Structure 1
């Protein structure tokens, strides 16, 4: 598909959207004028409906039109800073028959991409950028990286990026319009149908472009390198999602952030148990949709296998060797990940972050709320933890659970036992008797100083079940150094993960 034809298609689709919006505005004006000339109740209803819908459309289009692109992600690297990486990109650009990018940026993503700033609906290019995910450089070989970068440069040589901005703007405008018209079901349905048409057409073109770029990737890197890169990218993306959900999400807990993000990611993917989990997740068949921007992995691999194998000198060295100082590059990219307020947080090791983060998300609120619920039940002047034990000793568990629900806890058959168990864990942690311990194989484990795992769920259920167990609980806590008048530190519940 030629650049000119894509320009015509994009313009037609965008023009159709604005024409549709113009028709709604015109209908609003028509019914408003008709209402002034000849008042009817039905005309009033139509005028109100179209005028409100037109107001929504105009507001959305103005907002989308004024929206400015934010700062570019990651860290820009110059030719002087990373000569080997730039030389590789320059060489690949010559081989695929295109100009190299004006800028290369290392980004904290499991991805590589290119963009192109253009004018006059893609007819004139002003600036090209290439984005290279640092996790990829820590995962792929040089062979595989050359294939991936050749794929991205293939988007330039095929002029795939020329209309990226207007197509994206159209997608944003359509989706924002559909979302904003939730109170106008009839008109919303009309725009939703047009949005589906626009997305199906534009994404179908995108999928064809990906296959075209794959052909160039094989031409410069070989079938084996490109297929291996796709497999690794798929698995690494799965691993990054796990890392983000299980570890990186704790950033901000206790006022801390990880000092070294990528070293933690490398440690997780090197763990044998995690490797098996990641492989199992990556093997799951992916669902496909006509709205996908990329063909499925299986489709891409099949297409690659059908291509001729070029003459190629293998280079199995790690792709990180393309960087002059991989550690410095990682530190720079990590700094680019965080907003200024996060950069101001205390940098800590992963062990410390997991200890703080798990306490923050699991224990801090339980301890504070159990003490506060006990205070409300027995009428204490301060939120002593023992007030909750006293409420249980008096057989007032139902009232204690009601106060916990008032504090935001969800109802369940084991509500009191669950909160009590988590609160007792918190007491042990605050008194230095136990600590959440990092595990790259799975969830953190709460361990006593001697390495024995803390298991309090069953004991907490026994205490929550009736008054007789309270005396033993008080004795046990006393043995752990917990005073009878212990009041949880409210400062420990204020730092939530960001």
Structure 2
């Protein structure tokens, strides 16, 4: 399939979409005019449906048009900032016989990509950009990075990026249109069917383009470099998902953010426990769909294996050696991740402090505060003393206590009181300096006593919640740890 045929196919499908929109608009106008000339009840029903559908179509396309553009991700790096990186990219561009990008941007993503601003439906290019993910620089060798960047420049050489803009706009427009027709099921089914056809064809074109770009990559770096890069990118993406879900998600809780995003990611990716977990995740079968924009990893590796091996001098150095100062680059990319409000309002802290504060705020602070408030309401205390909740349990008023917790937003369950009590007791130990949430790159954070023993209060809290006579022992235990009977949780301990 030639590039010219792909262009005709993409533009034809895109044009067909707008022709379909035009047919609906013309039909709506026709029936509206028909009603003015010769009114019929049957025509009125059709006119109402078509007019409402036409309005929904115009609104969807208008919203798509308004949402184009936006701020570019990452930070731009000029030749004066990163001469070695620019030299490598320009050398690769000559190898694939294309013009180099006008701009290189380092981004906080496990990805590398190119884009091209175009005019006249992609027939004329105006500005080229290359995006290089800093996590890739942390993970790949120079050889592997050269293969990846050669792949991206191959998209330029094959004119893939010129087709990308109109094809992408077509996808966005079709999806927005289908979503905007929710109140018009008949018209929605029509556009949904066309959208499926368009996506299947356009994504098949995209998959073919990826394989063509892989050929450029192998011609530059060799089969081993490109295969290794693809495997590492796959594993690094899995690691980044774990990192974002288990660690970066603590950002903002307790008014803090990590002082070193990429330093933390490097630590996670080098932890033996996480490496084993990522290896297990990487062995799972890939889900393949005709709507995928990229071929499966297995298909790409199989296609690479039969390509000719070029002659080249290996360069196993870490890809970070292409940066003048990796720490300065990482700091700049990290700052691009945060909004101005986050930079101003969230305090940068080391990961161990972020985990300690974030876990306390996310798991313990609300439980401690709400249990005290529930005890105050049940016992009629003047202030939210935690001991008031203990007194309610001692008097057998657990059901009332649980009801007050539900009023405060806790989900009903048979173990509600025991769960909140356990989390509140953890909070007391943390407030008294007896325990602390401890960072682990191998898995979830652990709450440990000062001697390293893990805090395990779930069974004890369940026993106290079900036995009023156990409250005396609880009070004694907390007193031994330094808690006063008139202890009132601080309001500032609540999550922000």
- Normalising by structure 1, what TM-score? 0.96
Mapping of residues 243-282 of structure 1, within 5 Å? 243-282=243-282
SS at match of 1:116: strand
User: 1:419 maps to which residue?
Assistant: 420
Mapping 1:12-51, distance limit 5 Å: 12-51=12-51
1:277-356 to structure 2, matched below 5 A, reads 277-344=277-344, 345-356=346-357
Matches within 5 A, 1:27-426: 27-344=27-344, 345-426=346-427
- Residues 35 and 483 of structure 1: is their aligned pair in 2 closer, same or farther, counting only changes over 3 Å? farther
Q: Counterpart of 1:476?
A: 477
Over 3 Å counting, the alpha-carbon distance change for 1:475 and 1:35 in structure 2 is farther
| Cα separation, 2, equivalents of 1:277 and 1:134 | 22
RMSD of equivalent CA atoms: 1.4
Partner residue of 1:439? 440
Q: Distance in 2 between matches of 1:193 and 1:375?
A: 60
Deviations 1:81-108 (A, max 9, x none): 1111111111111111101110111111
- CA contact under 8 A between 1:351 and 1:438: conserved in structure 2? yes
Following the alignment from structure 1 to structure 2, what is the Cα–Cα distance between the partners of residues 362 and 377? 23
Q: CA offset at residue 289 of structure 1?
A: 0.2
Does the aligned pair in 2 maintain the 1:7–1:122 contact within 8 Å? no
Partners of 1:371 and 1:383 within 8 A in 2: yes
Deviations 1:427-461 (A, max 9, x none): 11122111100011111111112222111000000
Q: Which runs of 5+ in 1 are unaligned?
A: none
Q: Distance in 2 between matches of 1:490 and 1:179?
A: 44
Q: Identify which range, 169-178 or 112-121, moves more after superposition.
A: 169-178
Cα separation, 1, equivalents of 2:190 and 2:384: 57
Unaligned runs of 5+ in 2: none
Q: Secondary structure at the match of 1:106?
A: strand
Q: Distance in 2 between matches of 1:215 and 1:203?
A: 19
Q: What is the Cα deviation at residue 40 of structure 1? A: 4.3
Return the alpha-carbon distance in structure 1 between the equivalents of residues 421 and 23 of structure 2. Answer: 62
SS of corresponding position for 2:139: coil
CA distance in 2, matches of 1:491, 1:39: 69
Q: How many residues of Structure 1 are paired with residues of Structure 2 in the alignment?
A: 495
Distance in 2 between the 1:360 and 1:56 partners? 44
Residue 2 of structure 1: how far off its partner (Å):
4.1
Does the 8 A contact of 2:112 with 2:152 survive in 1? yes
Contact 1:429–1:435 (CA<8 Å) still a contact in 2?
A: yes
**Matches of 1:80 and 1:50 in 2, distance apart?**
58
For 1:387 and 1:17, locate their aligned partners in 2 and report how far apart those are by CA, in whole Å.
Answer: 67
Q: Aligned partners of 2:183, 2:214: CA distance in 1, in Å?
A: 44
Q: Hey, what's the Cα distance between the residues in 1 that align with 2:467 and 2:49?
A: 61
How far apart are the structure 1 equivalents of 2:26 and 2:493?
A: 58
The alpha carbon displacement at 1:304 in A equals 0.2
Residues 379 and 392 in structure 2, CA contact (< 8 A), matched pair in contact too:
yes
- 1:47-72 CA deviation, whole Å, 9 max, x = no partner? 33222222211111111112231111
Greater shift in the superposed pair: 71-80 or 381-390: 381-390
Distance 1:374 1:120 in 2: 69
Is the aligned partner of 1:449 residue 2:450? yes
Query: What is the alpha-carbon distance in structure 1 between the residues aligned to residue 91 and residue 469 of structure 2?
Result: 78
- Inter-partner Cα distance in structure 2 for 1:360 and 1:27: 58
The Cα shift of 1:342 comes to: 1.3
1:144–1:225 Cα contact (<8 Å) kept = yes
CA–CA distance in 2 between the matches of 1:189 and 1:295?
Answer: 28
Please give the per-residue CA displacement for 1:286-321, whole angstroms capped at 9, x wherever unaligned: 100000000000000000001011111111111111
Cα deviation, residue 39, structure 1: 4.1
Q: How far did residue 191 of structure 1 move?
A: 1.1
Partners in 1 of 2:66 and 2:278 — Cα distance? 42
Q: 1:178–1:188: 8 Å Cα contact kept in structure 2?
A: yes
